[in-house]
Amino acid sequence: MTPQKPAVAGNGSGSKSQHQQEEMNLTNESYVILIGTKNFTERYYRDRTGWLKVSARGRRFRMTAEQVLNHVLPALAGIKANLTIKVEHRDLRARNSRNVSRPPR
């Protein structure tokens, strides 16, 4: 009997090749977390300095990773009624190649 290689994510049929996965940026800086209701949406994202919350009014607040989790977990658990959470991936390589360094809107 020959030893089998351990299963590795992304090696199955229908998935992206390893080369394509290496090109995709999956770091914290490549995501924007949107939390809101029908009346407001707050954005959370990581920049060069750390985590940043942008309120529905556009005010910016620096946060620690633990503070971000304290805002995200109740939304994920469904504790607060009518609260939605959405995570968007943004490709920073395209943004950096254009030399644009502004935060997402």
How do the domains of the chain map onto residue ranges?
26-97
Q: Is the dihedral of CA 79, 80, 83, 87 positive or negative?
A: negative
For each of the chain's 105 residues, which pLDDT tens digit applies? 555 554 444 444 455 555 455 577 778 788 999 999 999 999 999 998 999 999 999 999 999 999 999 999 988 998 888 899 999 998 766 555 554 455 555
Backbone region of residue 78 per phi and psi (left: phi > 0; alpha: psi in -120 to 50; beta: other values): left
pTM value > 0.85: no
